[in-house]
Amino acid sequence: MGTTYHRRQFLHHAVFAVPSMIAMDAMAAQLYKDKGAGVNQDKKLGIALLGLGKYSEEQLAPALAETQHCKLTGIITGSPEKIKKWQQKYDIPEKNIYNYENFDSIKDNPDIDIVYVVVPNALHAQYTIMAANAGKHVICEKPMATSVADCQAMIAACKKAGKMLSIGYRLHFEPHHMAFMDFGKKKKFGKLNKITAVDSQEMEKGAWRLDRERSGGGPLMDLGIYCVQAAIYSAGTNPISVTAKEGEKTDLDRFQEVEQSIEFQLEFPNNVVANCQTSYADSGNLLRVDAEKGFYELQPAYAYDGIKGKTSQGDMGLKNVNQQALQMDDFARCILNKTQTRVPGDMGLRDVKILMAIYEAAKTGKKVNLDL
């Protein structure tokens, strides 16, 4: 699911004007030109949200009011007390409301094309596979799953069903991060020297994310995955090894089952290292790249809005957008146009392999080589 930064409603979701210092690559240009290119303008795919927690309520559902190629048509929830509110607010018919017991019957509902899985991490595999078996395309929130085997099973199930699988990596549709992807790919600031990625926040006692059985781990699974992702697209390639060290637990009551913090280093080809840090008992929201011809950084870097960027040449000057609306619209276009999503299950699998390697490195104190 999405990170639990302070959730503010988006006030402005304007597309951005690119300053002369940033040459837009084809990927970004495609996203922000005619977003309906090649798509039947009258066709909107129906999305059902599976899990009605804060991320669905405060981010995904409002974003679906802004989408061009998909719309909210159904809900799947284990909380009956939430149904009336959602039904009234989003005009959802009774026939498009499901619980976890009758979820399989969604296969007979033509109003729903996509199931967006937004439940605790350990349940991602189960419901992704069920949705695929019911003949629905799937968006699964990050992290994709809590094990490599589960990720592989999810990919296999969607492939067997002939359905598309996308991971909820919203920042791949955010202009600042897209610029970082372009910088990393084209080395616009010369050879990279160092990458720094920090994503930390306070996690309240009793949150499900502190329950290892449901979360699969602590801040690494929730926040650190953003650091992993950012380091990879900033470097423009996959890492080859990882070292890590778990931080001291200063609150043994809160962090009985998961790590309180963890630091890790991703090594990339050409001796480029990403120094990453994530914690549930601290604050930090930074992505920075130091290169031979200058630097570029985002701070805050991973929030739903309010991302700010600058380089050694000045402010990036990019506006904020509705990341989730763009993410879901892009997936709908991929389905309608029969094209590959830029955030496929294979990417989610790669990242879970890295997360597991980080935990192994922290446990053993040894460098873990990556075969990605």
- The span from the CA of 229 to the CA of 221, in Å, is 12
Our answer to whether residue 127 is catalytic in this structure is: no
| Cα within 13 Å of Cα(25), Cβ side | 15
Q: Please report the beta strands in the chain, taking only residues with DSSP state E, as ranges in sequence order.
A: 45-50, 70-76, 97-98, 114-117, 137-140, 165-167, 192-200, 241-246, 261-268, 272-279, 284-291, 294-298, 309-311, 314-315, 368-369
Q: Cα dist. 7→25, 56, 161, 303, 312 in Å? A: 30, 12, 36, 9, 30
Active-site residue, 116 included: no
**Annotated catalytic residue, options 98, 142, 163, 233:** 142
Backbone region of residue 295 per phi and psi (left: phi > 0; alpha: psi in -120 to 50; beta: other values): beta
Among the listed residues 226, 296, 304, 359, the single catalytic one is 226
Query: What phi-psi label fits residue 306: left (phi over 0), alpha (psi between -120 and 50 degrees) or beta?
Result: left
Residues in Cβ contact with 279 at an 8 Å cutoff, skipping those fewer than 6 apart:
200, 201, 219, 247, 260, 261, 262
CB 239 within 8 A of CB 264: no
Residue partners of 78: CB distance under 8 A and separation at least 6: 99, 100
Residue with token string 């989003």? 90
Residues in contact with 112: Cβ distance below 8 Å, sequence separation at least 6, in sequence order? 46, 47, 48, 73, 74, 96, 106, 136
Give the sheet arrangement for strand 70-76, strand by strand. 97-98, 70-76, 45-50, 114-117, 137-140, 165-167
Torsion of CA 324, 325, 330, 333, to 10 degrees: 150
Tokens of 263: 């630091």
Phi, psi of 330 (to 5 degrees): -60, -40
Instruction: Give the catalytic positions in this structure.
Output: 142, 226
